[in-house]
Structure 1
Amino acid sequence: MLELFRKYLSLRPPHVKHKRLFCTTKQENPVGKNTMGKIPSVVASYLKLPDVACYTGHCLRRSSATLLADAGVDITTIKRHAGWKSTTVAEGYVENSIENKTKIANQVLVGTTTSAITKTVNVSESNIPSNINFENCTNVTFNINVNK
């Protein structure tokens, strides 16, 4: 990513006076939020997608929030990234992407589920086991009940 960023910077004309990252190619003016907001509809038009007007600047917010969520980023970081204060609003921007649906489907097919196994062991002072081995365990909870 850093290499791509440096390549982009090397293409900028040296006499550009503003410090914004993006600028227009014709006049070297800074690209503002209104121009950025039109990019999704321009791309949709170029790709000949239906309902071009539905592709707005919010598509960029929704896409970035979804990509971050799919990458495992926590909701607090997503809220900071987009400037949202409400968790509900942030969660509303996160789409249930194909990648996320595929992960869930794979978990179901592989059988990664939560199940409870109960084992009751009666132990007296004379037969306390010296060790108990657990292998291939994750998210294990032990409940120890002592009856006197």
Structure 2
Amino acid sequence: MFVVTDVGNMLELFRKYFPSSSHVKHKRLFLYYKAGKCSSQPVGKNTMGKIPSVVASYLKLPDVACYTGHCLRRSSATLLADAGVDITTIKRHAGWKSTTVAEGYVENSIENKTKIANKVLVGTTTSAITKTVNVSESNIPSNINFENCTNVTFNLNVNK
């Protein structure tokens, strides 16, 4: 079971696709298509699990057999984690009870590696300290301009 929202007109697309025919005797969303014809047979979990390998084959990717239904689980868990979703929500989304299992499905994506690298290289500031100093009352040379400064680090030694 999943939710279809109206983001990006998905609800309209759903209504166009959803079978309204009287010959369909179930309430399953995905129907079996073969040779351009739709049957009333629902798509099963094994067929859904083959979708990644079908896509990989269509894209002519190497090692098509490596693309399994678990790829969909890994991708969704990783995308949610990259979006900042907490582990409890990821567990609920995929039906996992164990945090360890859920964390095992989250891949270390390029986006996540980039975020980590930026934090290591640039650092993060948790608070800003602002102090106005009258240049004429301090030992700061008056020819230094402190206006419009960004990403500047000052090391100050204060002797009392």
Q: C-alpha displacement at 1:111, in angstroms? A: 2.7
Q: C-alpha displacement at 1:32, in angstroms? A: 1.0
Paired residues in the alignment total 138
Q: C-alpha displacement at 1:83, in angstroms? A: 1.1
What is the RMSD of the two structures over their aligned residues, measured on CA atoms?
6.7
Distance in 1, matches of 2:138 and 2:117, equals: 49
Cα–Cα, structure 1 residues 132 and 20, in superposed 2: closer, same or farther, change >3 Å? farther
Deviations 1:42-90 (A, max 9, x none): 0001111111110000000100110111111111111111111111111
Greater relative contact order (Cα < 8 A, sep 6+)? 1
Q: C-alpha displacement at 1:115, in angstroms? A: 10
Q: C-alpha displacement at 1:100, in angstroms? A: 1.1
Cα–Cα, structure 1 residues 119 and 71, in superposed 2: closer, same or farther, change >3 Å? same
The residue aligned with 1:89 is 101
Query: Which segment drifts farther, 82-91 or 109-118?
Result: 109-118
Distance in 2, matches of 1:136 and 1:83, equals: 50
Q: C-alpha displacement at 1:17, in angstroms? A: 2.4
CA contact (8 A) 2:52 2:68 kept: yes
Distance in 2, matches of 1:86 and 1:133, equals: 56
Cα–Cα, structure 1 residues 126 and 108, in superposed 2: closer, same or farther, change >3 Å? closer
CA contact (8 A) 1:62 1:95 kept: yes
Q: Which has the higher strand share?
A: 2
Q: C-alpha displacement at 1:114, in angstroms? A: 7.0
Q: 1:6 is matched with which residue: 15, 23, 39?
A: 15
Identity %: 96
Structure 2, unaligned stretches of length 5 or more?
A: 1-9, 18-22, 31-38
Q: C-alpha displacement at 1:96, in angstroms? A: 0.7
CA contact (8 A) 1:107 1:113 kept: no
Cα–Cα, structure 1 residues 112 and 30, in superposed 2: closer, same or farther, change >3 Å? same
- TM-score, L = length of structure 1: 0.65
- TM-score, L = length of structure 2: 0.60
The residue aligned with 1:128 is 140
Structure 1, unaligned stretches of length 5 or more?
A: 9-14
CA contact (8 A) 1:39 1:57 kept: yes
Distance in 1, matches of 2:108 and 2:77, equals: 11
